[in-house]
Amino acid sequence: MRTTKLGLSRRKMLRGMLHGAAVSVALPRLDAMLNGNGTAYAAGASLPRRFGVWAWANGVRLSRWVPAKTGAGFPLSDELAPLGPVRDYVSVVSGLDLPFGGRSHAAGNCVFMTGQPLAGTNDADYTFPSASLDQAVAAAIGPTTPIRSLELGVTDAPSEEKGTAFHWWSHTGPNSPNRCNFDTKAVFTRLFGAGAVTPAGPTAVDVTQAMRRSVLDVVAADAADLRPMLGARDRARLEQHLDGIRAIETRLGATGAMRGGASVSCASPPAPPALVGSAVDYDARVKLINQTMAELLALALACDLTRVFTYQLVQPGTEVLIKSVIGGAPAMTYDAHDLSHMPDGYSADDPLLHTIVVHYMSELAVLVQALRAMPEGAGTLLDSCGILAANDVTDGPSHSYKSFPVLVIGRAGGRLRSGVHVASAGNVLRVPLTVARAVGHDALASFGAREGLTSDPLSELLV
Amino acid sequence: MRVPAKFRSVSIVTAFAALSCTGTVSGDGRIGAKPTAGAAGAGGGAAAAGGGAAGAGGTSVGTAAVAPPPASWRRLTASQYRNTIDDLFGPGLDHGAIEATPALDGFSTVGGAQGAASAYGVEQFELAAQQVAAQVVADAARFGRVIACAPAPRAFDSACARRSLASFGRRVFRRPLTDAEVDRYEGLWRAAAAPAGFAPGAAAVVSALLQSPKFLYRTEYGQPVAGTATRRYTGYELASRLSYFLWNTTPDDALLEAAARGALDTDDGIRATAEAMLISPRARAGLDDYFAELLRLDDFGLADEASRNLPPSLAAGMRRQALLDLDDIVFDRDATFSELVEGTTTHVDAELARHYGLPTPTGTGFVRVTLPQDGPRTGFLTFGAFLVKSGNGLKTSPVRRGKLIREGLLCQAVPPPPPNVDASIPELDPSAPRTTRQRLEQHRSQAGCSGCHALMDPLGLPFEIFDASAKLRATENGLPIDPSGELDGQPFATPRGLAHLLATSPKLDACTVSRLYRYASGAASDADDDRRLAPLREAFRASGGRLRALILAYVGSALFLQASDPS
């Protein structure tokens, strides 16, 4: 059997990095607490809906991305083929444009997540002009979960020092990114380790919960001293910081009573292996980390530790070198970003340009399958999710934002139609608006500004 | 492209003068014209107009009535946090994981001054504070730095707690605590000590102090100066400003004492203190972050370099070389800063010397060597930290090299490609060998690309005499390499020639001034910066371009000592 440098067989890896936890886990939400149909709590409250953003980078080959037919049961295109096993949950939106055009790769994630153009003037300082959509959705649908929103990443490839928009899809404000966590061990610790608040209640830590609260009271009192002294802009930054303090207080106050009961699996699932910094090349590592992150995310959602996530397979304009996909020298001299720009010697239909997209979609399929493997109520976790999968440009050679490629994954508790290809025209920001409302941010009347402004959901995506 | 007015109040205007690809530099240093598709290769003279934040040095510009930058509330950068913890409790403890500070305009100090910590970042601060506090109370030597007295056994020793808070609290908040603060923290200490005892109670206090926004953020708001619209920083604020700028860490007891006795209340006092701090060996480590960010080293030579296809020891050596060269210029010799790009010496070990084709140095480790006078190498641009970092170790990137020179050394921002312009190159006969220059010539013939590429390619292509690992090469694909180029209309024959043009360019000096100010102040740039920095440019020029003189001129100037009202 072929084994990786970590000594893990491929078969074992695919069976579940959490030692089988994701497939053997008892229903985190006890059936006894649900109604007869498994669609809601016995007391009448609905199952939570979840919102996610999944990001790849550097565009697609539109000719090989857009499915040949529209509607339900559309045939998967070449580049979407890896999603075959989960196709019933995947909708494709094509033909809609990202407004404001582009100035750089960072424009894609910024406009898609804020509905506004980049703030800043150049690569070194491009940032979001405001908080991103996921943060608004989190405030609306998950204000009491232990973690407001979870940001996960798979590859932290080296890149130039650039503004925050060049790296991150989630922001709480200008220059205030929610960085993705690339370290599976750290993510696990945050979710389930010492100090974490799980559905079964706080886990054992040396410092008592009461003492942590007392400490935070003093921190808050210090902040109250500062508040009247600070200028308006700095006061807003202080409030952003205090949001983090309040999130900890929420976690400390969480009893678990609302959270699916005392499932053993939620209280102490097995820890994943540490993968960051291991001497494994990108190819092996990305598979290991992606599989593990996907399973951790599924557990976090199932245990209702959070209802909102951002999952960056790669950073905008990523320069990773994907050896097994791109192949050996001389092609290896080009990284993923170079190749997307169709360097000298490559034609538009070069298989390499397309193979990278297929690689990204196969990694997306891993995540979708991990969510589908988690039973919940009468269905699976995926039934409750509304996930936007998007990237930073339409295609590399032109840095175009026309016909911006977007996937919508999951059924948002029965509100999203899945498994359809919607071809349309106009403003692609209708898609995030649609999904944000479908997962429960009903108060979101509109999304975007100026020519990006829309208050018009894409009805073809709604049930 | 213009930033819409509604965002302008919150957006960060950059330190850079934005280049336009049609041959002008925007005068206000703000927002450049967008690249113009189809502009004929009019790069010559593009940056010659001076102007902008990085305008020509030595220009006589009125300095009256330029307001100092606004008062600031700055988060400690991740490395400042770690250094501070080490200074407060002694080195060697586990800091816990701390969120990285985003680099803005290339500097984490600017990112720390403009953004806020994320929710996860705040969580990490909480856990780190608990971890550090637990380590401190478990270690008598560390705990001795917190308590100022031996607490009485049994009952809670209020007097000892208050004495300790007065002394240790001042170290943490970088100023004396108010009575209300002492009361607050004593209350926490008393409550925490009730079930657990005096020392475990102290752990709660340490944990709270380390999470307080008064610790994690430097409140530098100054005091209004009567009869003016400006504020002057207090002695304690200046102690912090000096310490975090020059030592990248919290002020020590001596500096806080100096603030307490008013030694930082006069410009002369500030200057004398800064001179002493620069002489201290702590300044070398203190400016390491600055140098690394100035040279855009990122994690080059530090982190996983597998993707750069270079032996890690070689990449680490290249990083070390660049930083040693800067230390040598600034601290050992107090030499002209432009020796960074046109130098006669460098630092190598045996591995690097072999790689660069230099004579093997005598001695072990890194030694300073003199470069051959007529050789191809001189200064940072001809060594690995630039040549390798700008590519991926397997291929060179002349465009990126040109862009880095414009942005990093000349403070000129090259606009990104315009949207929806097809940047692909029509395929020629792939079997015919060509040089990178020949391929890029074709690129530059594209209407949408030529304008901006004319700013970058002629600066980057001469470095094709070095391969992607920074080794010298005679040919590329069997063809001779043309090492010539031009900088804003000035032709040069080799990278050495470019280094000389750069080293003698007032734009390099102006950029050096601008970058130092940006790092030290953390301030967002604005339209007044060009006028604001004119006196510093003059002082820098008068000193023969020495960084220490620039630093001393800066800390003695209104830019460092005064502030406008916060925005």
B287 touches B515 (CB < 8 A): no
pLDDT tens digits, one per residue of B256-299: 999 999 999 999 999 999 999 999 999 999 999 999 999 998 88
* pLDDT confidence bin for B558, thresholds 50/70/90: very high
**Residue A2 burial (CB count, 10 A):** 6
B182 to each of B29, B176, B186, how far by Cα in Å?
47, 10, 6
**Window B:429-468, CB contacts with A under 8 Å:** 430, 439, 442, 468
Q: Which residue did the predictor score with more confidence, A351 or B86?
A: B86
Residues of A in contact with B104 (CB under 8 A): 124-125, 127, 163-164, 175
Q: What DSSP line would sit under A372-397, residue for residue?
A: HTSEETTEEHHHHEEEEEE-S-SBTT
Nearest-CA distance from B339 to chain A in Å? 24
Q: Please determine, for residue B538, whether its predicted confidence score (pLDDT) is greater than 70.
A: yes
What is the pLDDT of chain B when averaged over all its residues?
86
pLDDT of residue A144: 82
Phi then psi dihedrals of residue A456, to 5 deg: -120, 95
- pTM metric for this prediction: 0.86
Q: Which of A122, A156, A164, A233 to mutate to test the interface with B (most CBs of B within 10 A)?
A: A122
Residue B123 has its nearest CB partner, among A157, A177, A244, at: A244
Asked if the model's pLDDT at residue B50 lies above 50, the reply is no
**pLDDT tens digits, A360-395:** 999 999 999 999 999 888 899 999 999 999 999 998
**What pLDDT does residue B51 have?**
35
- In this complex, the residue of B102, B420, B425 whose CB is nearest that of residue A101 is B420
How would you label A216-246 residue by residue, b for 16+ Cβ within 10 Å and e otherwise?
bbbbbbbbebbeeebbebbbebbbbbbbbbb
Q: Which residues of B touch A399 (CB under 8 A)?
A: 416-421, 423
> Which residue is closest to A231 within chain B, CA to CA?
B566
- CA A376 vs CA A48, A303, A308, A365: distances in Å: 11, 10, 17, 19
Name the residue among A121, A175, A402 with its Cβ closest to that of B115.
A175
In this prediction, residue A324 carries a pLDDT of 67
Pick from A218, A232, A399: CB nearest B188: A218
Number of neighbouring beta carbons within 10 Å of residue B421: 17
Q: Binning pLDDT at 50, 70 and 90, where does residue B49 land?
A: very low
pLDDT for residue B7 is more than 60 = no
A331-363: b or e for each residue (b if 16 or more CB lie within 10 Å)? bbbbbbbbbbbbbbebeeebeebbbbbbbbbeb
**Nearest Cα residue in chain A from B414:** A122
Tell how many helices (H) and how many strands (E) occur in chain A. 15, 14
pLDDT at res. A353: 76
As a whole number of angstroms, the distance between CA A382 and CA A237 comes to 36
B298 touches chain A (CB under 8 A): yes
Average pLDDT on B504-516 reads 96
Question: For residues B225-263, b (16+ Cβ closer than 10 Å) or e, as one string?
Answer: eeeeebbbbbbbbbbbbbbbbbbbbbbeeebbebbbeeb
Query: In terms of CA atoms, which chain B residue is nearest residue A193?
Result: B127
Name the residue among A215, A345, A402 with its Cβ closest to that of B420.
A402
The string of pLDDT tens digits covering residues B68-84 is 999 999 999 999 999 99
Burial of A202 (C-beta count, 10 Å sphere; 0-12/13-18/19+): buried
Q: How many CB atoms lie within 10 A of CB B566?
A: 19
Of A154-168, B98-112, B235-249, give the lowest mean pLDDT range: A154-168
Binary contact (B73, A237; C-beta < 8 A): yes
C-alpha R_g of chain A? 22
CA torsion sign for A267, A273, A274, A275 is negative
pLDDT at residue A198, rounded to an integer: 52
The answer to whether residues A416 and A462 touch, using CB atoms and an 8 Å cutoff, is yes
Reply yes or no on whether the pLDDT at B425 is more than 80: no
User: What are the percentages of helix, strand and coil residues in chain B, rounded to 5?
Assistant: 50, 10, 45
- Per-residue pLDDT band for B416 (boundaries 50, 70, 90) equals confident
What's the first-to-final CA gap in chain A, in angstroms? 46
In this complex, do A157 and B307 lie within 8 Å of one another by their Cβ atoms? yes
Nearest chain A CA: its distance from B243 CA (Å): 22
Whether B424 and chain A come into contact, CB under 8 Å, resolves to yes
Higher confidence at residue B437 or residue A110? A110
Nearest Cα of chain A lies from the Cα of B172 at a distance, in angstroms, of 13
Placement of tokens 């280094």 in the chain: B499
Whether residue B86 contacts residue B94, with contact meaning beta carbons closer than 8 Å, is answered with no
Statement: residue B130 has pLDDT above 80: yes
Residue A77's contacts (CB-CB under 8 Å, 6 or more residues apart) are A64, A65, A66, A67, A68
Instruction: Kindly report, residue by residue over A273-314, the tens digit of the pLDDT.
Output: 776 655 556 677 788 889 999 999 999 999 899 999 999 999
Q: Taking CB atoms and an 8 Å limit, are A124 and B16 in contact across chains?
A: yes
* Cα end-to-end distance, chain B, whole Å: 25
Please give the residue that has the higher pLDDT: either A347 or B138: B138
Q: To probe the interface with A, which of B118, B421, B428, B452 has the most A CB atoms within 10 Å?
A: B118
A 379-418 residues with CB below 8 A of B? 397-402
Separation of alpha carbons A362 and B300, rounded Å: 30
Question: What is the distance between the alpha carbons of residues B558 and B457, in angstroms, rounded to a whole number?
Answer: 40
Question: Mean pLDDT of successive 10-residue segments in chain A (463 residues)?
Answer: 34 43 41 54 72 95 95 95 97 96 82 95 88 97 89 75 89 94 89 63 59 94 96 94 90 54 57 66 79 93 94 88 60 68 67 85 96 90 97 84 95 96 97 98 96 96 95
Residue B313 clears pLDDT 60, i.e. is over it: yes
Distance from CA of B361 to the nearest CA of A (A): 32
The answer, yes or no, to whether residue B345 has pLDDT greater than 80, is yes
Chain A with chain B: Cβ pairs closer than 8 A: 275
Nearest to B278 by CA among B243, B236, B231: B243
Contact list in A for residue B566 (CB cut-off 8 A) is: 230-234
Contact criterion met (CB below 8 Å) for A29 and A377: yes
The answer to whether residue A448 neighbours chain B at the CB level (below 8 Å) is: no
Whether the CB of A228 is below 8 Å from some CB of chain B: the reply is no
